[in-house]
Amino acid sequence: MSYETLQIIWFILIAILWIGFFFLEGFDFGVGMLLPFLGKKDEERRAIINSIGSVWDGNEVWLLTAGGATFAAFPHWYATMFSGFYLALFLLLVGLIIRGISFEYRSKDANPAWRNRFDWMIAIGSFLAALLLGAAFANLARGVPINENMMFTGNLFTLLNPYGLLGGLTTVAIFLLHGANFLGLKLEGELRERVNGFAKKLWIAATVLYVILGIFTYIAGFWNNGHINPGVIPIAAVIVLLVAGYFINQKREGWAFIMVALNIVLTQVTFFTMTFPNVMLSSTNYDWSLTIYNASSSQYTLTVMSIVALIFVPIVLAYQGWTYYMFRKRISTEKKSLVY
Amino acid sequence: MDPITLSRWQFALTTIYHWLFVPLTLGMGWFVAYFQTRYYQTRDESWKKMAKFWGKLFLINFAIGVVTGIVQEFQFGMNWSEYSRFVGDIFGAPLAVEALLAFFMESTFLGIWIFGEGRVPEKVHLASIWLAALGSNLSAIWILLANGFMQAPPAASYVYNEANGRLEMVNFFALVGNPKAWIFIWHTLADGLAMAAFLILAVSAYHLVRKQNLEFFKRSFQIGALVGLIASALIFLGGHTMGQYMKEVQPMKLAALEAIWETEQPASFSLLTIGDLSGKQEVWSIRIPYVMSFLACNNFECEVKGVNELQAQYEQQFGPGDYIPLMVVTYWTFRIMMAFGFVMMGAAAWFLWNTRKKDYENAKWMKLVPFGALALPYLANASGWILTEMGRQPWIVYGLLKVEDAISPNLTTLDLWISLIGYTAVYGALAVAMVKLMKKYAVAGPDAAMHESVDVAPSLVGGQD
């Protein structure tokens, strides 16, 4: 395969990894943020955690794989982004650490204060992660200061611009909604009713923020940063989000979940389309941007990695999909049936 | 402190911390899988109890390895961006494969194992713990292959591309077949088994001394002693083989860990060497003749090059600079690692020998010795890694890139202080929670572990199920 084809394939593969991560871990983050607000009793909180208990770790691996694949396929992208977003990523890591450890440790002691502390750490960790990932992607869409040596020249406050913050908050809202829809599918009884009430309110917040973000992106011209016009994809993303509102009101959780999931996927597709072939846009000078051509690995490495991906991605997708099928049943808050 | 020193401290602290937990995960997974298999074959409830009890400790430990592992993967780009640019074409590949092949397997199947009992077919549940254990060990293999490239880059695997100033992969199989890495893998996977064995020995002894669940813990103790002995022997063989490779690929590290200033033939082994304050010169030493030649070449004759000769040689080859690692560290970590390794082997053999007796739980040494021995694999393991990584200095990729040229140029000291203090605080808190839970579940014993719900305090649990 030609070098250029390989570079495009790996751009698409990394986009797919991020899409998978936002789609899957998106509801995990949402569930995490909802946990202390939705669960009043200990059994309820445990049931909420168990809805993602067997899958959150596997979902998080999508992020690790996206990181690893970026390192392998586009070392300069990995190097510039990770060193450039240093403190933001540090906070993201702290968020992921306190969230991950809390899933495992919160029920290993009966002391209510212990459990409550870990529940809040799950919520705060999920919030931090969602906020920072959203802000990071908004900044990637907007462009960040990069000099002629591919070095990021800003700092944490460079990322905390209005557009970045709006991107972060919108991501938080969408993930909250996504999590609420997921819980609507996994819980039963009173808890299921309660989560539907949450979803209605969250839908309003998420939609408002999402539309503002869209308008901001359009007016600022960020959609025009790459070589491909995303066209109707962002419009479709807005439409599915509106349709999700209808299904939430109808209490048709499955469809509501699918619609918000589609919104997340289409948003990511929009992002990667409008940035292509840039991977990190330089706001200092457009010509200093990192692209799939100047940031990539050698042809040999991309070929080897393609073969590896061709073999293992289908296997991973098969067994991860099978896990969801295995644990498809709704979770009751009855103590006897709960796995602690 | 300057950014290089801060970045190095951060990498060292986070990596050593991460690696306090991971080896136990690597080893304990196999134990739990074995116990559960025995239950599956024999239907003997006590095997099930063993899988449950040791499985609980496995999980408490596992969680920390997972959450601190994300930091590891991100750090290369965050703190060592110039390194990532220079070797990303090669180093990124094993990392990506690790995530794709090992992390998914480990996390997905562990999820099935934790939540799947009674929900998935028993065979699937059993297979899932084997796959989780295999996944974590596979991840260790891939990261050690990546590390192997930093330690001893196989000449056939890469070329230096002058046009873009980086290393590029030309042969994936040379990278994956790096013999130095495979010795490390052998050494490290055996170390995981030993660590798990010594944890089992310590916890079992605690209960045996108190006459609790005698049968359960005697069986555990015996298995722990047997595996501990085999694993320590494998560690020793791996380490010994490594010494001979080091002579070829990293002669400076070999000289530095032995504090050999001048080339010797045959080379003696230093029992105690005192250097001057600069650490660059020997003041006084006690040495055993021939032994170092044996460690380095498996015979009593060969020449071992000294630090001074190598320094001169490197200056010619790579230009002026200091190519000598911090000898006080390499010298002592090597001794701690080796001494503790030997004590581990001896201790495991002795424990095993004593299990012949019927009432060995009454022996006085049972009160403290197995518990104290638990520190051995942890200290030996940390020392070994400090030796490996600091013995490579000033190189980050041996002979190809220096540490000082590898850091992220955009980071300020403030950035680095924030993250260094932040990680230290978070990791410290994790350790407190982890030790608290480990202790609680280890002390509560197997009956409490059989109950899934709420808490291990029997008064709370007994009424529930």
pLDDT in tens, A238-282: 999 999 999 999 989 899 999 999 999 999 999 999 888 999 988
Task: Name the residue among A72, A151, A335 with its Cβ closest to that of B93.
Answer: A72
Say if A300 is an interface residue toward chain B (CB within 8 Å): yes
Reported in sequence order, the residue ranges of chain A that DSSP labels E, i.e. its strands, are 278-280, 290-291
Number of structural domains chain A divides into:
1
The beta-carbon neighbor of A76 closest among B78, B85, B426 is B85
Cβ distance A326 to B74 less than 8 Å, yes or no, reads no
Q: For residue A223, give the nearest of A170, A269, A156 by alpha carbon.
A: A269
CA distance A252 to A244: 9
Residue A300 belongs to domain spanning: 25-195+278-337
Residues B63, A323: C-beta atoms closer than 8 Å: no
User: Does B90 contact A at CB distance below 8 Å?
Assistant: yes
CA atoms of A79 and A85, how far apart (whole Å): 10
Give me the amino acid identity at A156.
L
Torsion angles phi and psi, residue B266, rounded to 5: -70, 160
Examine the predicted complex and report whether its ipTM is higher than 0.85: yes
**Please, what sign has the CA dihedral across residues A227, A229, A233, A238?**
positive
Q: Does residue A191 form part of some domain?
A: yes
Average pLDDT over residues A39-62: 88
Q: How many residues does chain A have?
A: 340
**For residue A294, what pLDDT is reported?**
92
Q: What is the pLDDT of residue B459?
A: 33
- pLDDT score for B277: 54
In a domain, A148, yes or no: yes
* Closest listed residue to residue B257, CA positions, set B206, B329, B361, B360: B329
Q: How far is A218 from chain B (nearest CA, A)?
A: 32
How many other β-carbons are positioned within 10 Å of the β-carbon of residue A37? 11
For A60-64, A110-114, B266-270, which range has the lowest pLDDT when averaged over its residues?
A: B266-270
Distance (Å, whole) CA B232 – CA A27 = 45
Cα A319 → chain centroid: 21
Q: In this complex, is the C-beta atom of A117 within 8 Å of any C-beta atom belonging to chain B?
A: no
For residue A29, pLDDT beyond 70: yes
CB A244 within 8 A of CB A263: yes
Flag whether A142 is in a domain: yes
In the prediction, which pLDDT does B456 show?
Answer: 40
> Exposure of B432 by Cβ count < 10 A (0-12 exposed, 13-18 middle, 19+ buried)?
exposed
Asked if residues A95 and A124 have their Cβ atoms less than 8 Å apart, the reply is yes
Report if residue A40 sits inside a domain.
yes
A299 inside domain: yes
Residue A247 lies in a domain: no
Residue A289 covered by a domain: yes
Contacts of A303 in chain B (CB under 8 A): none
Instruction: Tell me if A339 and B115 make a contact (CB, 8 A cut-off).
Output: yes
Q: Is B84 on the interface with A (CB under 8 A)?
A: yes
Q: Does A86 sit within 8 Å of B78, measured CB to CB?
A: yes
Residue B120 and residue A105: Cβ atoms within 8 Å?
Answer: no
C-alpha–C-alpha distance, residues B39 and B180, integer Å: 38
Q: Any CB–CB contact under 8 A between A94 and chain B?
A: yes
Give the pLDDT of residue B310. Answer: 86
Count A/B contacts: CB-CB distance under 8 Å.
236
Mutate to test the interface with B, among A50, A108, A120, A316 (most CBs of B within 10 A): A108
Chain B residue numbers with beta carbons less than 8 Å from the beta carbon of A96 are: 67, 70
- pLDDT by residue, tens only, chain B of 465 residues: 899 999 999 999 999 999 999 999 999 999 999 999 999 999 988 899 899 999 999 999 999 999 999 999 999 999 999 999 999 999 999 999 999 999 999 999 998 898 888 888 899 999 999 999 999 999 999 999 999 999 989 888 888 988 888 999 999 999 999 988 899 999 999 999 999 999 999 999 999 888 888 888 989 999 999 999 999 999 998 888 887 888 778 888 888 887 777 787 777 777 777 766 555 666 677 777 777 777 777 777 777 788 888 888 888 888 888 888 888 888 888 889 989 999 999 999 999 998 888 888 888 888 888 888 899 999 999 999 999 898 888 899 998 999 989 999 999 999 999 999 999 999 999 999 999 989 988 888 888 777 654 444 333 333 333
Angle, helix A162-186 to helix A112-142, in steps of 10 degrees:
130
Confidence of residue A155 (pLDDT cuts 50, 70, 90): confident
Facing residue for A96 by CB, picked from B63, B70, B119: B70
Q: What's the confidence (pLDDT) of residue A33?
A: 96
CB atoms under 10 Å from CB of A113, counted, come to: 8
The first and second tokens of residue A284, run together, are 């200092």
Distance, in Å, from the CA atom of B26 to the CA atom of B192, rounded to the nearest integer, reads 5
Distance of CA B226 to the CA centre of its chain: 20
Of all residues in chain A, the one with the smallest CA distance to B451 is A340
Residue recorded with tokens 């042969």: B171
pLDDT at B460: 36
Q: Averaged over A181-207, what is the pLDDT?
A: 91
Residue A200: pLDDT band (50, 70, 90) is very high
Using CA atoms of A298, A303, A305, A306 in order, give the dihedral in degrees to the nearest 10: 140
Residue A121, pLDDT above cutoff 90: yes
pLDDT at B8: 93
Q: Is residue A207 part of a domain?
A: no
The confidence score (pLDDT) of residue B451 equals: 66
CB-CB: which of A71, A96, A312 is closest to B100? A312
CA angle A177, A180, A186 (to 5 degrees): 145
Residue with tokens 């939430």: A248
Q: What whole-number distance in Å separates Cα of residue A45 and Cα of residue B400?
A: 53
Structure confidence at residue B74 (pLDDT): 94
A100 inside 8 A of chain B by CB: yes
